[in-house]
Structure 1
Amino acid sequence: MSRSALWRVRAWRHPVAVAEAVAREPAGRRWPFAAREGLLDQVLSALGAAALGGPPTAVLLCGEAGAGKSRLAEESVERLVANGRPTARVTASASLAQIPLGALVALLGSGPGGSAALGEVGRDPLRLFALARDVVLARGTGGRLLLFVDNLPLLDAASVALVAQLLHAGLADLLATVRAGEPLPDAFLALWSGDRAVRVDVPLLSRADCDRVLAAALGAPVAARSAAELHRASGGNVLFLRELVLGARAAGTLAQVAGVWRLSAAPGGTPALRDLIAARLRGLDQAELTVLQRLALCQGLAVDELPGPDDRRILSRLDEAGLVGVEEMGERLFVRLAHPQYAPVITAGLSRLRAADLLLEQVARLEPVAGEPADQLRVAIWRLSATGSADPGLLLRAARVARAGHDFATVERLVAARDGATDDDAPEALLLLGEAQRELGRPAEALATLQRAAELPASARLRVRIATVRAAVLAYQHQRTDAALAVLREARRAAPGHEPALVTVAATLLGSAHRTTEALAELAAAGPPRRLGVDDRARWAVAAARAYTAAGRGTDALAAADTAVALTSGDATPTTHTTAGHSADALAAADTAVAPGGGEAGLAGQPHRAGPLMVRAEVLADAGRIDEGIAVARVALVRAVDDGVERVVCSAEWWLARNLLLAGRPRSAARWCRDVVSGARVHELPTLLPLGLAGLTVASAWLGDAAGAAAAWAQLAAGPDSAAEPRDPWLAAAEAWCQAVNGDARAAVGTLVRAADAAVERGHVAAAAALLHDAARLGQPGVAAAGLARLAEAADSPLIASRAACATAAARRDDAGLTLAAEWFERQGALLFAAEAAAAGAQAARAAGSARRAAALLARATALAARCEGAATPALALTEPAQALTQREREIATLAAGGLTSRDIAQRLRLSVRTVNNHLQAGYGKLGITGRDELHRALGRTA
């Protein structure tokens, strides 16, 4: 089944989505030019050389229909016109080609005598060329005329001859579009042999290009999976992409949630798109149309599965016409429609009975030989679509295959069609249904379904699978970790032979809840990995990597993460045909998605392929290999998007955002945090929503955006678990940075120190170190240095060691130590931390009377800060003119810049009003300003 089956066509159930839906796209609005800058440079460079009298004379833009050739040409012409280059446009078409000089009438009729003169000379080639020459020279005042011909091969013969004459005579240059597969008129072939023509191929949009185009067109980021679905549905065709977006906005299925555009159903396009596709299908005979209808209904077929004796010959014609695509899979040839958007147009006029007959023909042909799981899935879907029912056993087997391919909408459809069958397979069917409900964003239904499954008699292995999923839903969707652990304990008593695997699951849940000491104890109880099977070893390694990195055991964490990736790597597995487009590896593996704090235990088969990569991304970053961690996180996100599980996509986005923050890239981190918030709201992911908001709060604060940080924190603080204990370290960091950016650094440090103490009690060394380092970054290294030193001594982590060294050096005002810390941070990829350490080192060197060393460190801090996407943390302010302020002067000046009166500041800091005013006056003198109104500028903050 196609990937579009993963989308549920349903109305928005979430008020936030309705509230944030925007107005429909204005008719005729032109999309911004994006993702083609390199091609534009090629065209302008070539035409610039031609304008100076050198080669080439012609630039041809070649590509498929809808690839964006005309838009690229138009953008090129606009740039040239803005620079004074004279141009003229000619649009060719099949209808104008029936009229001699039809495409050139408007251009030639603009000369002396108008269209009447053209009529007089039209039959005389010499007079016609003379007229054309006069028009071109008149239009080309100030330079040689550039003639832009859209659809060059569609020019009539007379127009071709005349344009070629102008080019060969050196009177004009040519910019033309040529559709792929269409022959170039003979008159222009000589340009190639004389090196007077340049060909620029205009490809279809890549996925990355599609992301850029969508963000530019919609004015805000598009959710990763929605962008991937739009790319798949459009095939990278710019024209199709635009019509799909317009259609989805008109239908209300593309709307903003938390500032991110997101699809709620498969994009359907506009009537204009359907008319365009229908025009391509005109002229087909009934046999050809029948083959296309069969392919549309079946979502592709093997060539030998087509029933008609002439179907192979018909496929050849359709392939040559560009209506189907044939690909080799293993030893068989499979054929699909050339574009996903053809299917709804092809089946639009098909009666229900005729569609059922075609599907049942394919069932009769495939069912007797459907030994492969993928074939059983196709048979079940075809029979279900044709008749509304199928054998319960077949439906269950098909549901297993759909679940392995992460097609949870199809899983739900297949299980529901069993119509509540109460056979021995009922517990497994309910398990599959519960999983599907969970992945489709309905956790309450999922928990109820899984409870029903748990009450039915089942094998020990199946009971373990049911318990595992129930525990995951309780922990991650309902935030009831202790209840989840109780379910696992009950399963361990009922199925003692599966205890090691269940202990691993418990360790994973505890690690996700930041209960590191307990997680390590469970992992030790599970025994050495060699006692487990391959799949359970992979899950053990995922859980161990998370727990080890949290405990500061970097070497052990890296070894475990590498093991998990190696055990779950299936990249070398050959691809086989399935209706969902998944590889044989995907069909053989069951999903084990990684949840917000770590890896969630799986059900059967291998862990989800994106999960171990997410864990490895975290481990690498915490080991001081941040750039590597970001690269791995990006790969994990791509794989999660390809697999189509929204919960896993949100998790991958979070790990990417988290690593980008460590790298000192708050603007990029904020972009992905918004994706997390958007996805978590739509798909009811309560553990990911606060993480996304926390990351957004921190990123906004690091950018100096006090209002943005406060807005994100307000949403986070309104959550049901914002005050729960033990508290998630990220929530504590968010609160502290919101306090700091809004002027209350003292309260922020207190928040951080308390959270660090709690993290130490739970064994979460990495979190405690990060929190204490934040306290040092907010101007209190003395408060953090001792605790960080103890953590670094007990840990095996270069990043923790660097945090501790930086805090100790800052507390001692040791410029040499701060210089060394800056070097360590920079090597590890933590550029913001490096910039802050260098800035603090400059201040310490200045205080020690070493002006030269201070200047060098300040220059280094400034250069590092310039690579941090506009970060404006308090420590970076030392690179601004305010660097001479004392800590108390800076604190008071920051509060005053935030709008507090001297009395308000005095009450908050427990000082007298006179003391506050004295510090302000001292600060004004150091900053070279006269009053409060200038504080924002002087402190380098935005008003």
Structure 2
Amino acid sequence: MRDRWPLTGRADELGTVADILASSDYRGIVLAGEAGVGKSRLARESVARAQRAGWTVHEVAATATARSVPLGAFAHWSQGLEGSSLALANLVITKLTADTGPGRLLVLVDDAHLLDELSALVVHQLVLHRAASVLMTVRTGQRPPDAVTALWKDGHLRRLEVRPLTRQHTCELLESLLGASADQACSQRIWNLTQGNALFLRQLVEQEQDAGRLLRRDGTVVWTGGREVSPSLMELVEHQTGAVPRKVLDVVDFVAIGEPIQVACLMLLVNPDVIEEAEQRGLIRTSADTVQMGHPLYAEVRMKRCGPVRLRRLRGQVAMAMKDSRGPADLARRGLLWMESDLPPNREVLECAAGAAASLLDFGLAERLYRGAADAGTDSDAQVQLAYSLLMQRKGDDAEEILDAIPAHDVASSAFINDVILRAANLLWSKRDPAESWRVIDAALIGATGERAAQLLAFRANQLALAGRPAAVIEVLAGVHYGLLDDFGATIGLCAETLAYGELGRPDEACVKAAACYRVVRKTPHGSFLAQPLTEFHAFALAVAGRTAEAVDVAERHRCDSSSEPATAQSVASSIAGMAALFSGDLRAAAGLLPVHPGPGMAEADFLLVNSFQRFYLLRAQVLARLGKVEEAESTLEAAREYGHAAYEYVETTGILAQAWVAAARHRLVQARQFACQAAEFARDHGQAAREVWCLQTAVQFGDTAVVPRLAELAAVVDGPRAALAWRYAAALASDDTGELDELSKDFEAMGDLLAAADSAAHASSAHRRAGRRGSGATSYTRAEKLASRCGGATSPAIVGAQVAIPFTQREREIAVLVVQGLTNREIAEAMSLSVRTVEGYVYQACAKAGVAKRTELSSVLPTAVR
């Protein structure tokens, strides 16, 4: 491998060098960049190409050792020469240019910032007198001789900044070297350490290969073991940074320990002049008000070189200097530094840091900090917060142990996160025992008044919302005064009401509750956690009512706002946007936003991801089925079931609808309609009127017209455009009203449900053909195709059915499809709950309309999609 390092990601730079050498505008080019980015490698490749093009090339390598010797870089041409400095320079130039054609001499000067003054004069004169073209490399942050600097400042040479490799090019280089792509964890770790520095990348990869830690598994390279920096890599980094004064190393060490560290904080620790020197050397870099390491490996090396005693002392100094920190990230980092320093435990500092870590969804760090605070003596409220951090990490047994040790009378009565609520929450989520969780709240409600009663009822509303009992949520919270709740408790109650009103088909009231909740969420340190369910419930309330564009806007705005939040929050925000995209019929966007797969670490994932994964993955199964990817949809549905949770009854319909769409994708329409109606029945039993409309609309899209009476009832009580449109759709399909079906396609499109619009147009096309209006049928089908394409290539029973030009009835087409798929008449009868004789009759009629003699010949008249 060591002899096969290809030049990757430098096509643009190579082209620029070639263009400059061929141009008369410049006499050469300067490749400038940080140490190790690949300037010399790029220069050598450019020189090799120039030689192949007929150039004569002389190579000069400047070194720190030769810098003390006049003409040290040109020693090969200056041996035996005598005279004044200018005369010597001219003699060297004469030797260099001897026996070369005019305009075809290229001099490569590597590390030109290390040239001695006389060698620099030679280069300057070569360029000035147009005796040769020059290609030189210089290191950013180093001061070259004035004669060299003048060459690009005066416009004789073009200066080109050579940047580190991009992450994409780093991955490409790794793949070409290792003969296989690296898995995500491996490529991420290598990128984090090298940041595109080609020299560090090479040394690191060779080190890890020699150590046997870069292994190929199932065709993918994985990085095993720890992230130890080898002595050779440490020496390389230290060589690249050069000899650094002790005072500058102090700056580097402080930044390595505390990065990103505030400039004001660093200036409390070291002299500003020394900070400037460290920055000029490229060891650190400043951005706005913060300071970071110049390269990640610098931090790795310095942390290795510092002994544990020095590290503990420096951490303490940085922590003390951060006394004015305000942001949650800085507060959490200060607490961690304090805990790992030589400072005595400080309860106030560590508890404040733990709360900040929890607000960043880093509950593992919050746990460490709360446990560290215990060494300084902590109170019951802090123990409650520790139990909360354990709960959010799904450490149910540990949380219960902490709660059992807390005296109930010591817990603050005003906090929603208290011992009783946490015990019920632990039972609900970690222990997966909703019944016992309810019993805890029931027992606590006996005799409860004031703040405690309000807290318990808010949590009860949350239990009811998850259980799919929206009317009960409204009833319970009607007696709760939100002024008695802290921000966390108010958010829990308002979230439950947002979902409940959405389920009941009252989107305006859902929006009012959501708006009130957003105002509270913005004030609470738990905002990045609580904003997720709030946005999900708000977007759902709008989408299920048919206010699709608003739902997409809410979800996308939240996804944008979450871009700077922790990765968990970003992931859930993307899933919420995927849900909204599915409701709008944008299957391509939904497939890109909804979670792709559980991954091997899902079992250990945090609270937010684990408890949201199932419902979003069920939506992904629907997306895949609607795209006709049946096998993927089935495997996704199966994976989602593995993460089912007894507390989440309210999403039961989502899973049943996923089954319905999978059945529909397999052209099992009777089964698909049965699933859709089963989902609707569940929603009706739970009072989820808006969700029931969604399920019944799906049944209509599968061709079920028996739902017309129920949709008429729902249209009278469910607000938003969806209920009325679904009722009209069912009625039009039942009466083969082609004009109304065509109009409904436009109305669904205006509402924002493109897939329903495509299905309505497809149903219109089939109805037109049955009525003998082939032209109208073709027009409607063309519209259905265009809408399906806008959905991302959607398919559905209605769209596939419209591809059949023969005027089959719906039942004839369904049976013909099952015949083509190889089912016997008896199997078809069982699947459709018909007698075998009835099936035989339909098969006969279908064959007659198709003009074929045998049932086996039906495949010749049906579209490929159903075969």
Tell me if both proteins adopt one fold, taking TM over 0.5 as the criterion. Answer: yes
Partner of 2:480: 526
Partner of 2:437: 484
Alpha-carbon distance between aligned partners in 2 of 1:929 and 1:73, rounded to the nearest angstrom: 73
5 Å matches for 1:716-755?
716-717=640-641, 728-755=652-679
1:860 offset after TM fit, Å? Answer: 2.1
5 Å matches for 1:89-128?
123=94
TM-score normalised by L of structure 1: 0.70
Partner of 2:814: 891
1:242 offset after TM fit, Å? Answer: 7.9
1:867 offset after TM fit, Å? Answer: 2.0
5 Å matches for 1:414-425?
414-418=369-373, 425=378
| Alignment partner of 1:657 is 2:611 | no
1:692 offset after TM fit, Å? Answer: 3.7
- 2:630 maps to a residue whose letter is A
C-alpha change, 1:618 and 1:755, in structure 2 (3 Å) is closer
Partner of 1:804: 727
For these two proteins, the number of residue pairs brought into alignment is 828
Partner of 1:19: none
Partner of 2:301: 345
Contact 2:112 2:137 in 1 (8 A): yes
Partner of 1:590: 525
1:661 offset after TM fit, Å? Answer: 1.5
- SS of residue in 1 equivalent to 2:252: helix
- 2:725 maps to a residue whose letter is S
1:232 offset after TM fit, Å? Answer: 10
CA-to-partner distance for each residue in 1:265-305, whole Å, 9 max, x for gaps? 99889999867654443321222112211232234545555
Structure 2 unpaired stretches of 5+:
77-90
1:794 offset after TM fit, Å? Answer: 0.9
The one of 745, 766, 776 equivalent to 2:690 is 766
Alpha-carbon distance between aligned partners in 2 of 1:928 and 1:245, rounded to the nearest angstrom: 70
Partner of 1:695: 619
5 Å matches for 1:357-506?
357-362=313-318, 380-387=335-342, 390-392=345-347, 394-418=349-373, 425-453=378-406, 457-462=410-415, 465-493=418-446, 496-498=449-451, 499-506=453-460
Contact 1:740 1:778 in 2 (8 A): yes
| Alignment partner of 1:865 is 2:788 | yes
The one of 85, 101, 111 equivalent to 1:130 is 101
- SS of residue in 2 equivalent to 1:526: coil
Alpha-carbon distance between aligned partners in 2 of 1:239 and 1:642, rounded to the nearest angstrom: 29
CA-to-partner distance for each residue in 1:411-461, whole Å, 9 max, x for gaps? 21122235588x6x4422322222222333434433443444475742323
Alpha-carbon distance between aligned partners in 2 of 1:552 and 1:520, rounded to the nearest angstrom: 13
Alpha-carbon distance between aligned partners in 2 of 1:181 and 1:805, rounded to the nearest angstrom: 76
Partner of 2:258: 298
Alpha-carbon distance between aligned partners in 2 of 1:43 and 1:628, rounded to the nearest angstrom: 50
- SS of residue in 2 equivalent to 1:348: helix
TM-score normalised by L of structure 2: 0.75
Partner of 1:554: 507
1:189 offset after TM fit, Å? Answer: 6.6
CA-to-partner distance for each residue in 1:357-407, whole Å, 9 max, x for gaps? 33344566677x899998876665334213496245553344234333433
- SS of residue in 2 equivalent to 1:704: coil
C-alpha change, 1:71 and 1:358, in structure 2 (3 Å) is same
CA-to-partner distance for each residue in 1:449-507, whole Å, 9 max, x for gaps? 34444757423235753333333343344444443344344444465221334423322
5 Å matches for 1:544-583?
544-569=497-522
Alpha-carbon distance between aligned partners in 2 of 1:319 and 1:634, rounded to the nearest angstrom: 40
Identity %: 23
- SS of residue in 2 equivalent to 1:674: coil
| Alignment partner of 1:325 is 2:247 | no
Contact 1:244 1:270 in 2 (8 A): no
C-alpha change, 1:93 and 1:719, in structure 2 (3 Å) is farther
- 2:258 maps to a residue whose letter is C
| Alignment partner of 1:516 is 2:487 | no
C-alpha change, 1:693 and 1:188, in structure 2 (3 Å) is same
Alpha-carbon distance between aligned partners in 1 of 2:128 and 2:788, rounded to the nearest angstrom: 56
Partner of 1:617: 539
- SS of residue in 2 equivalent to 1:728: helix
- 2:275 maps to a residue whose letter is L
- SS of residue in 2 equivalent to 1:347: helix
Structure 1 unpaired stretches of 5+:
1-24, 106-119, 137-146, 571-588, 595-607
1:520 offset after TM fit, Å? Answer: 1.8
C-alpha change, 1:305 and 1:557, in structure 2 (3 Å) is closer
Partner of 1:6: none
1:343 offset after TM fit, Å? Answer: 2.4
Q: RMSD over aligned Cα, in angstroms?
A: 6.0
1:314 offset after TM fit, Å? Answer: 0.9
Alpha-carbon distance between aligned partners in 2 of 1:159 and 1:921, rounded to the nearest angstrom: 90
Alpha-carbon distance between aligned partners in 1 of 2:383 and 2:687, rounded to the nearest angstrom: 38
- Larger relative contact order, structure 1 or 2 (CA cutoff 8 Å, min sep 6): 1
CA-to-partner distance for each residue in 1:890-921, whole Å, 9 max, x for gaps? 42354355554555334433435745754674
- 1:939 maps to a residue whose letter is T
C-alpha change, 1:809 and 1:238, in structure 2 (3 Å) is farther
Partner of 2:81: none
1:317 offset after TM fit, Å? Answer: 0.7
- SS of residue in 2 equivalent to 1:870: coil
Partner of 1:283: 243
C-alpha change, 1:87 and 1:366, in structure 2 (3 Å) is same
Partner of 1:776: 700
Contact 1:666 1:699 in 2 (8 A): yes
- 1:410 maps to a residue whose letter is L
Partner of 1:629: 551
1:127 offset after TM fit, Å? Answer: 6.0
1:56 offset after TM fit, Å? Answer: 12
- SS of residue in 2 equivalent to 1:866: helix
Alpha-carbon distance between aligned partners in 1 of 2:591 and 2:223, rounded to the nearest angstrom: 21
1:761 offset after TM fit, Å? Answer: 2.4
- 2:467 maps to a residue whose letter is A
Greater mean alpha carbon deviation, residues 180-189 or residues 290-299? 180-189
C-alpha change, 1:415 and 1:260, in structure 2 (3 Å) is farther
Greater mean alpha carbon deviation, residues 448-457 or residues 749-758? 448-457
- 1:841 maps to a residue whose letter is A
Greater mean alpha carbon deviation, residues 650-659 or residues 246-255? 246-255
Alpha-carbon distance between aligned partners in 2 of 1:418 and 1:231, rounded to the nearest angstrom: 35
Alpha-carbon distance between aligned partners in 2 of 1:221 and 1:634, rounded to the nearest angstrom: 30
Alpha-carbon distance between aligned partners in 2 of 1:724 and 1:563, rounded to the nearest angstrom: 25
Partner of 1:714: 638
C-alpha change, 1:763 and 1:149, in structure 2 (3 Å) is farther
The one of 794, 806, 821 equivalent to 2:717 is 794
- SS of residue in 2 equivalent to 1:621: helix
Contact 1:293 1:346 in 2 (8 A): yes
Alpha-carbon distance between aligned partners in 2 of 1:310 and 1:175, rounded to the nearest angstrom: 37
Alpha-carbon distance between aligned partners in 1 of 2:110 and 2:812, rounded to the nearest angstrom: 66
CA-to-partner distance for each residue in 1:207-244, whole Å, 9 max, x for gaps? x9999999999989979xx99x8799579758699899
- SS of residue in 2 equivalent to 1:386: coil
- 2:525 maps to a residue whose letter is A
Partner of 1:940: 865
C-alpha change, 1:72 and 1:708, in structure 2 (3 Å) is farther
Alpha-carbon distance between aligned partners in 1 of 2:36 and 2:856, rounded to the nearest angstrom: 61
C-alpha change, 1:66 and 1:555, in structure 2 (3 Å) is farther
Contact 1:204 1:235 in 2 (8 A): no
- SS of residue in 1 equivalent to 2:414: helix
CA-to-partner distance for each residue in 1:751-809, whole Å, 9 max, x for gaps? 221221221222212221111111111222x0333323322221111233333333333
1:746 offset after TM fit, Å? Answer: 0.9
1:667 offset after TM fit, Å? Answer: 4.5
- Find the structure with the greater CA-based Rg: 2
| Alignment partner of 1:681 is 2:603 | yes
Contact 1:743 1:894 in 2 (8 A): yes
Partner of 1:599: none
